[in-house]
């Protein structure tokens, strides 16, 4: 309901400056909630009005600001208008603020709070394909793939919540020379019985061993090239072994995704586009884009002056394809099959050049839709270890997060009796992993810290879960009371208004997140909301208060719980009811 107030203020500005309301709505933003004193609710910088030609671009800006503020008169919606540090601030009628903001929560419309804002009317909605996670088959799920998995899931959740049709794609690394090595290695070191007992562990051991041997053995390198050539030519025996490796891997990965609460609409892979790479090569040739380098490789010249100073290799000298060749084929195939409006790739920042080259080649081939392709990159996690030492596999991290969280819960005096403590510890542990990962800019590397991550107080996923569970408990203890008549004038205390002002920002936070696809805005918003809830829980008791006061406070806490749960789900966190 923040849009109700934006419209009222915009109408006041429109009348004064003889302009359309619509030009003022984007310029009005929720004011920061200040600790020292109760702040105004919205603010506007007249500088933006200058930029848009609404105010004269010359003259003293501070004087223009003060003159404009003096022309705007308070009314039943806006109680106070002030100027501070180049901004015009608008303080709303407190009772009306509570009434309008909490109205949806009395009508059972709480799930869509903030999501139907007119802020989003300017956004283009459509079909968005998000490619994320994308581990390599025949290997256990490496912890290094955690970031792509949870960031991609956040982006997919966000886009879907804002009304887009989202296709979640897992593009498996299931083709390439490494499978030549694995195939050659399995014929030497593989064991069918071990493959049945612990498939991915055994394949990992074979891969490590064959790589070690290949460093000193030309025979193994030749055998690997031969096996991959057999795959490229779809020879039965090689294909059968490769298919077995792929099916084993996908089955194992599904278990990890289930633990993370993540699903995919499509499990694709490089292998799906192997046949189409020849069409790509033919089109590059027909357009005169494919050149032969001195080494005999097939390259595309991406240099501005056509002097081969910036080339991208798309064919080996023996004619076999590379990762980027398959990526070109995959992008073209996806556009034909899914008719996406936008496609987002989520990988680490070491692949930035790869995607720049991919998008440039697609554009050069005449695919204007490549402008709608985007690479969301991220930094590295440093120091991710378990108690046993350097971590390699994601399941080790999830197991450790659950075990540590279970230990902390058992040590805490506030832990409730739970039906399934392991499941709660799993969900809270995963939320701790996600929040630690999402607190900063995605492109930054960050240091993994078990102790900081699992703190019950502080900026952690544990604190978010604890706040949500505490609010659930409060609602359960007072079930039935919320249905009574709601008196918004009972919510005039500072701590209650802090929550209302924070809720006022929710649509802006989602809009900002949609613009730059950074989860840090939503994490920061939810942590701040949780801190306001903690203060209000101490200072605004429900039990023992007069009925109308108790009911109003319960409505406020119900709204906070609903928005907290909504934001957590967008981040990819499953809120717990009790902990």
**Which residues belong to the active site?**
139, 142, 145
Report the distance separating Cα 328 and Cα 99, nearest Å: 54
Report the distance separating Cα 466 and Cα 528, nearest Å: 14
In this structure, the number of other CB atoms found within 10 A of the CB of residue 197 comes to 10
Q: List beta partners, residue 257.
A: none
Say if residues 160 and 199 touch (Cβ distance below 8 Å). no
Say if residues 497 and 40 touch (Cβ distance below 8 Å). no
What's the sign of the alpha-carbon dihedral 421, 426, 431, 432? positive
Q: Among 314, 138, 135, 295, which Cα is nearest to 211's?
A: 138
* Longest distance between any two alpha carbons in the chain, whole Å: 86
* Structure token pair of residue 350: 């070491």
Q: Backbone phi, then psi, for 314, in 5-degree steps?
A: -115, -10
Strand runs (DSSP E) across 228-325, as ranges? 266-269, 290-292, 298-301, 311-315
Instruction: Work out the angle at residue 267's Cα, subtended by the Cα atoms of residues 261 and 272, and round it to the nearest 5 degrees.
Output: 165
Report the distance separating Cα 119 and Cα 257, nearest Å: 33
Helix intervals (H) in 412-460: 421-438, 450-453
């Amino acid at each position: 309901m923040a849009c109700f107030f934006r419209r009222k203020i915009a109408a006041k500005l429109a009348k004064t400056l003889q302009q359309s309301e619509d030009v003022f709505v984007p310029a009005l933003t929720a004011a920061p909630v200040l600790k020292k004193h109760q702040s105004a609710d919205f603010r506007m910088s007249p500088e933006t009005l200058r930029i848009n030609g609404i105010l004269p671009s010359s003259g003293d800006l501070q004087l223009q600001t003060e003159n404009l503020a003096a022309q705007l008169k308070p009314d039943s919606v806006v109680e106070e208008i002030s100027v501070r540090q180049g901004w015009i601030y608008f303080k709303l009628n407190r009772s009306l603020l509570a009434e309008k903001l909490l109205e949806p929560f009395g009508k059972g419309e709480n799930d869509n709070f903030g999501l139907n804002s007119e802020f989003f009317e300017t956004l283009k909605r459509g079909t968005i394909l998000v490619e994320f996670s994308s581990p390599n088959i025949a290997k256990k799920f490496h912890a290094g793939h955690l970031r792509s998995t949870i960031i991609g899931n956040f982006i997919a959740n966000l886009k879907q919540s804002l009304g887009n049709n989202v296709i979640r794609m897992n593009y498996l690394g299931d083709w390439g020379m490494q499978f030549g090595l694995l195939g050659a290695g399995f014929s030497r070191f593989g064991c069918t019985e071990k493959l049945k007992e612990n498939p991915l562990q055994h394949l990992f051991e074979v891969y490590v061993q064959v790589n070690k041997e290949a460093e000193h053995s030309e025979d193994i390198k030749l055998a690997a090239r031969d096996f991959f050539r057999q795959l490229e030519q779809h020879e039965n025996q090689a294909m059968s072994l490769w298919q077995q490796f792929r099916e084993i891997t996908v089955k194992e990965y599904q278990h990890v995704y289930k633990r993370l609460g993540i699903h995919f609409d499509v499990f694709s892979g490089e292998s799906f586009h192997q046949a189409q790479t020849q069409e790509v090569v033919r089109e590059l040739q027909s357009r005169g884009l494919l050149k032969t380098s001195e080494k005999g490789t097939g390259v595309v010249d991406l240099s501005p002056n056509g002097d081969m100073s910036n080339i991208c290799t798309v064919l080996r000298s023996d004619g076999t394809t590379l990762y980027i060749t398959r990526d070109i084929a995959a992008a073209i195939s996806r556009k034909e099959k899914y008719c996406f409006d936008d496609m987002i790739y989520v990988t680490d920042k070491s692949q930035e050049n790869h995607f720049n080259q991919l998008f440039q080649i697609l554009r050069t081939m005449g695919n204007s839709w490549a402008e709608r392709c985007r690479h969301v990159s991220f930094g590295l996690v440093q120091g991710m270890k378990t108690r046993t030492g350097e971590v390699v596999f994601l399941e080790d991290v999830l197991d450790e997060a659950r075990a540590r969280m279970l230990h902390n819960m058992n040590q805490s005096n506030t832990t409730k009796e739970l039906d399934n403590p392991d499941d709660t510890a799993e969900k809270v542990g995963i939320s701790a992993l996600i929040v630690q990962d999402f607190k900063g800019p995605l492109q930054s590397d960050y240091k993994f810290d078990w102790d900081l991550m699992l703190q019950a107080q502080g900026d952690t996923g544990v604190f978010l879960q604890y706040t949500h569970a505490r609010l659930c408990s409060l609602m359960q203890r007072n079930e039935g009371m919320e249905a009574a008549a709601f008196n918004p004038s009972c919510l005039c205390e500072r701590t209650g208004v802090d929550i209302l002002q924070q809720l006022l920002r929710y649509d802006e936070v989602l809009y900002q997140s949609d613009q730059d696809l950074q989860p840090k805005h939503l994490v920061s918003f939810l942590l701040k909301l949780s801190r306001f809830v903690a203060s209000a829980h101490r200072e605004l008791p429900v039990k023992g208060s007069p009925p109308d006061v108790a009911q109003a406070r319960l409505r406020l806490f119900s709204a906070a719980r609903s928005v907290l749960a909504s934001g957590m789900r967008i981040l990819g966190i499953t809120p717990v009811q009790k902990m």
